[in-house]
Structure 1
Amino acid sequence: MKNVEELREAHVGRLMLKYFIPAFIGVFVNALYNIVDRIFIGQGVSAEALSGVSVIFPVMLIMMGFGMLIGIGTGVYVSINLGKKDVERAGQTLGTGFTLMIISSLLIMIITYALKVPILKSFGSTDETFQFANDYLDIVLGGVLFMVVGFSLNNVIRSEGNARIAMVSMILSSVTNLILDPIFIFGFDMGVKGAAYATVISMFILMIWVLYHFLKSKRSVIKLQLKNIRINREISMEILAIGMAPFSMQIAGSFVQGLLNKKLIEFGGDLAVGAIGIINSVLTLVIMAIVALNMASQPIIGFNYGAKSVDRIKQTLKITLIAATIISVLAYGLLETFPGMIIKVFNSDSEMLYQIATRGLRIVILVMPIIGFQVVASNFFQAIGKAGLSLFATLFRQVIALIPLLIILPGFYGIDGIWISFPISDSLSAIVVAFILVREWKRLPIIVAKNDENQKN
């Protein structure tokens, strides 16, 4: 129980650093899944193939959304129960979460196969890009179970204090993908199908690795036991309530991406969809660094929320906010200085794609320095059981503010109106989230005391 004791007593700054480094390495390598696919496809197949795979991005967001719904919800609830020294309840949470992972995976696969053509059309696939998108999706859908179970259980590994093992998990699967991509795409001349097969195989390896941890490894704090692999209604509701915010973020992101693809085709053509695919890949690396901070802070906040330690929760939040802001500022400086060089990593043949993506990236990142604290705030609300606030903070930027802007501004400014929508939405969201964060910071002692009272009752 060394991991549990350090969550309770270790210096918060050192603990954050200990958890952040493996989390960052893990998520950074994990982000390479889609990015590496896009680089190899953009350089080795064509700009149109890159646009076709970019159409799949909203579908991938939905798949990852279910992984986050169950994985983050399970992880947070495991942390809270370990903070209360209730290992049995933590084990029941793991078993219920695993059952939900299997059920949701099968539902995603069946529904998406049944509605595949209208889904691709609604997300911006055209006659020129449909076959690329369809080939990739057909194969990836076969690996939905591997993705959901692998990513979800890896989050629980991190939540029980085994951040280094969670890092190794992501490195293992991502390096597999990195090795297989050029072999299948170039060596076997399989094009986008090769990229999809590489992704599915790497997901399968991830799933096997994390299952071994909870079934056989002596390092696991809790075990995946047969008696707990069932649906516990009360625990299921807790998991879904906690995970609803990141899930809603992913689903909202998926539909926004679909709308975005359609607007880009209308005002910029297929290559504009390829451009947003590149921009999303670049921004993913930045957001993933901040997500790594959240991953590092989540078990500390969740554990100490359960243990009623307000001071340690506040210390953790302060450190996370400062670090997220630093990352956002540094990323803005790098992207603003070298946008063209970054774009050419993905495709160096199409001058039109280069021009569209470079201008789009410069505009989209205009207020990047204020994005970091918003991502941290949403995670903080989630970790202290404020699922509704976390959901609102997340959806405000991606739905309430962004969608109307995407609908209205392109009519006045063309494709630039699409790009401008992002910094305006980020600015409006920053104001709202900052107000809520300050309020909840002041009320934290009351929130923790109320949670303890509810648990006793």
Structure 2
Amino acid sequence: MTDTIIQRLEQEPIGKLLLSYATPAIIGTIVNSLYNIVDRIFIGQGVGSLAISGLALTFPILTFLQAFGMLVGAGASARVSIFLGRKENEKADHVLGNALILTCSFSAVTIIPSLIFLKDLLLVFGGSEQTIPYAEAYLYITIPANFLATLSFSYNAVMRASGYPTKAMIAMLIGAILNIILDPVFIFALNMGIQGAAIATVISLAVSASIVMSHFVRKSSIVRFQRKYFKPDWKIILGILSIGMSPFAMQLAASLVNTLLNTSLIKYGGDLAVGAYGIINSFGILLVMLVLGISQGMQPIVGFNYGAGHNDRVIEALKLAVILATLITSAGFFCSFFIPEFIVRAFTPDPELINIASNGLHITFAAFIIVGFQMVTGTFFQSIGIAWKAMLQSLLRQCVFLIPALLIAPLYYGLDGVWMASPIADILAAVVSGAFLVWQVRELKKTPGQIKKM
């Protein structure tokens, strides 16, 4: 790691440092979300309401596949930050080489079965004769391209963690802008419908992935691919997986929740309710990606300073990230409360779908103010290598709180009960996150070096 980057991470004021790291990360994560959001807007306006519902059916499958990318990407980026903070650059290179081995292995064992059993999976996820054809047309193209998505998004996080936040942002921007340009070309000009959206996404991912991966083969890069580190090292692999397990578990739980959501929406609201969830989810993703950008900007700062033993800077970065994240989720809450119809109309002109989605948006985001705090807390624990706490928070929110709420609330409130499940889970999960964080910060203040691990 160059002396300039080390000096910045160790000495530059936290506010300025977080701004410089979080801004590119925010732009990058927003750009990431635009892949899906732009697809839904063009499909909703150009193909129809049922096409949005079909696209919503793809969430559980794509979320499941993306979980393995997050398992590697989150674990590798956190490990790279910690090793660079300890001035152990060769170990950081070793992490990168083993991460690529994991990516290739996981892609092989997940993509092929997903394609073989695709129709059966869509039936389980709440698909109907009207919506499954749209989902199949999209997924038969995008599932094989999940390998490109992992290379683009997961290794973008490693690039950012190794001291190149602006370059990571540019790589994401190029792919997203290309997707925005190609979507109307394939959907409207070439009249390819939902398949056109999928093809546009794949081309854009391929371009973004090539930019990201080319960074790690250059000798000038702080962390880079080296042939000698492509040999599996189980200690390194377990180190990656131990930290990445938290976002992985969260993604798997999200896939399970999406499946339960789709079946509940079909039962209490029909195909249009599934489409309404797709719209609500798009708005939520945009806000979550903003918070994720702040968290990702915080991650290398916390990871490096934790590795270097600068606990006061770790706490300062954490506090500032929580404040910024809460401001974003508060803005999301107020928009969902005061202008839900304005948001929904961007995705569809269908009056019935607008009505269903507006009501769902209003209820779903009732406790969204506290979500930013939860997300930053999870990233904080990943950044300092205490992954089990981040994983436990995620599992409690998704499985222990959200799933029972999805099963019980609709029995009394119908479709409104489905929407109510999210704020119920958010409130309960925030209590747990707060308890974990208060204890951990106290331990951090008591120790001059690394945090005591429970």
TM category (shorter chain) comes to: over 0.9
Task: Give deviations 1:106-134, integer Å, cap 9, x for gaps.
Answer: 22211211221221111111111111101
Task: Give deviations 1:11-52, integer Å, cap 9, x for gaps.
Answer: 111000011111111111111000000001100001011100
Runs of 4+ in 1 over 3 A off after TM superposition: 445-453
> Would you say 1:265 and 2:266 are equivalent positions?
yes
Following the alignment from structure 1 to structure 2, what is the Cα–Cα distance between the partners of residues 243 and 70? 6
Unaligned runs of 5+ in 1: none
**Shift of residue 335 of structure 1?**
2.5
Asked whether the 8 Å contact 2:80–2:161 carries over to 1, the reply is yes
Letter in 2 for 1:129: T
* 1:409 partner SS: helix
Unaligned runs of 5+ in 2: none
Task: Give deviations 1:180-209, integer Å, cap 9, x for gaps.
Answer: 111111111111100111111111111110
Following the alignment from structure 1 to structure 2, what is the Cα–Cα distance between the partners of residues 121 and 448? 55
Structure-2 residue corresponding to 1:407 = 407
Structure-2 residue corresponding to 1:382 = 382
Letter in 2 for 1:179: I
Asked whether the 8 Å contact 1:305–1:448 carries over to 2, the reply is no
- Between the two proteins, the alignment pairs up a number of residues equal to 451
**Shift of residue 450 of structure 1?**
5.7
Letter in 2 for 1:64: Q
Asked whether the 8 Å contact 2:381–2:390 carries over to 1, the reply is yes
Structure-1 residue corresponding to 2:232 = 231
Asked whether the 8 Å contact 2:302–2:313 carries over to 1, the reply is yes
Q: Closer, same or farther in 2 for the Cα pair 1:46/1:160, shift >3 Å?
A: same
> Would you say 1:397 and 2:402 are equivalent positions?
no
Letter in 2 for 1:278: I
Asked whether the 8 Å contact 1:142–1:200 carries over to 2, the reply is no
Give the counterpart of 2:202 among 197, 200, 203.
200
Letter in 2 for 1:342: I
> Would you say 1:121 and 2:123 are equivalent positions?
yes
Asked whether the 8 Å contact 2:444–2:452 carries over to 1, the reply is no
Asked whether the 8 Å contact 2:333–2:369 carries over to 1, the reply is yes
Asked whether the 8 Å contact 1:97–1:239 carries over to 2, the reply is yes
Task: Give deviations 1:339-377, integer Å, cap 9, x for gaps.
Answer: 1011010001x2111111000000011111111101111
Asked whether the 8 Å contact 2:378–2:393 carries over to 1, the reply is yes
Listed as ranges, the matches of 1:432-443 within 5 Å are 432-443=432-443
Structure-2 residue corresponding to 1:339 = 340
Give the counterpart of 1:86 among 88, 97, 102.
88
Following the alignment from structure 2 to structure 1, what is the Cα–Cα distance between the partners of residues 418 and 206? 37
**Shift of residue 448 of structure 1?**
7.1
Q: Closer, same or farther in 2 for the Cα pair 1:200/1:217, shift >3 Å?
A: farther
Q: Closer, same or farther in 2 for the Cα pair 1:446/1:245, shift >3 Å?
A: farther
Asked whether the 8 Å contact 1:77–1:239 carries over to 2, the reply is yes
Asked whether the 8 Å contact 2:287–2:332 carries over to 1, the reply is yes
Aligned alpha-carbon RMSD (Å): 1.4
* 1:231 partner SS: coil
Following the alignment from structure 2 to structure 1, what is the Cα–Cα distance between the partners of residues 371 and 201? 30
Letter in 2 for 1:319: L
Letter in 2 for 1:194: G
Structure-2 residue corresponding to 1:144 = 146
Structure-2 residue corresponding to 1:31 = 33
* 1:94 partner SS: helix
Following the alignment from structure 2 to structure 1, what is the Cα–Cα distance between the partners of residues 451 and 283? 40
**Shift of residue 445 of structure 1?**
4.8
